[in-house]
Amino acid sequence: CNKAVPKLTTRRQLLRTSSMAHNSHRAALALQLHRLTVPTLSVVIDSTIVKSKYEVHRIYCIGRNYREHAIEMGHDPDREPPFFFQKPADAAIDTTVVKSIPYPSMTDDLHHEAELVVALKGGGINLTPEDAKESIFGYALGCDLTRRDLQSEAKYLRRPWDHSKGFDFSAPCGAIVPKEECSLDLKTLQLDMSCCVNGETRQQSKLNCMIWNIEETISILSKYYRLTAGDLILTGTPAGVSPLQIGDSVRVSCGDIPECTFQVSES
C-alpha cells in the first residue's frame, strides 16, 4: 500500500515558525502592558457605562476661569488672557471603578475644585472655535484636587505648581458621556454644576459663568499645544473651594452628565 510521506520540516521553517510565535506573544504582552500603563476612563454608550474605553493622552487645566473663584483666590477677575497648567495623564482616576482617593503626602490643606471635563476625539494646532467644537468627543465631571498650602508657597516663591497640582490621584473623573447623548448646549451653558462634601453644597454655579467658554478655551490652548484624541481639558472651577479631610465623601454633579463621586481615604 502507498503510505503518505511526511514532509520534512527544515531548520529555516522551524526558525520562521518560532519567530512568528514569539512575535505574536510579544504583541500580546505589549497590548496587555499598554492597557495596564495607559490611563483610561469609562464611557457611556447607549445608557450603559463601558469601562476602560477612553484612553487618556494628556490632562490640561485652565486657571481661574470663573470670576468669583478668581476673587476668592485674591486675583483680578477682569477678563485676562487665560493660562494653563498640566497634570500627568495617570493622575486621571476613573471614579466608576475606584471609589477611594488617598489623602496625599506633604500637605495639610487638600482642596476640592469641581470642574467640567471636556474629552477630545481629535484636534490639531491653531484651531478655530468652530474646529474646536468639532474636536469634542464628550463631557465628564472631575475634581482638580489641589495641595493648597504647596500652591500658596509656589505662588509666593514664583515657582511652578507641579507639586501642588500634579500628584498621584489628583484628577478623579466620572464617566464620559458623548456630546450627542448629553443635554449640554455649548451656546447657552445653562447647566448647574455643584460639589457636595458629606451632603453639604460647597460649590455651585452655572457653566455659563465661565470667563472663557469651551470653544474659546480649546482654540486658545491649541495655539500652545497640538491637541489630539485622548486629551482631557478641565475647564475651571467656581467659587467655594475648601479643605477636605480623611473620610469626606465628595460628589460633583451637573445635569445628565455622570457624577464624579469618591471618598477621601488614608494614604
Residue 6 has pLDDT above 80, yes or no: no
Residue 81 has pLDDT above 90, yes or no: no
DSSP state letters, 93-155: EETTT--EEEPPSS-S-EE--EEEEEEES--BSS--HHHHHHTEEEEEEEE--EEHHHHHHHH
- pLDDT at residue 172, as a whole number: 98
Residue 62 has pLDDT above 90, yes or no: yes
pTM, two decimals, is 0.85
Residue 10 has pLDDT above 70, yes or no: no
pLDDT tens digit string along 152-209? 999 999 999 999 999 999 999 999 999 999 999 999 999 999 999 999 999 999 999 9
Dmax (CA) of the chain:
99
75, 76, 79, 80: CA torsion to nearest 10: -70
Q: Rounded mean pLDDT of the chain?
A: 90
Residue 4 has pLDDT above 60, yes or no: no
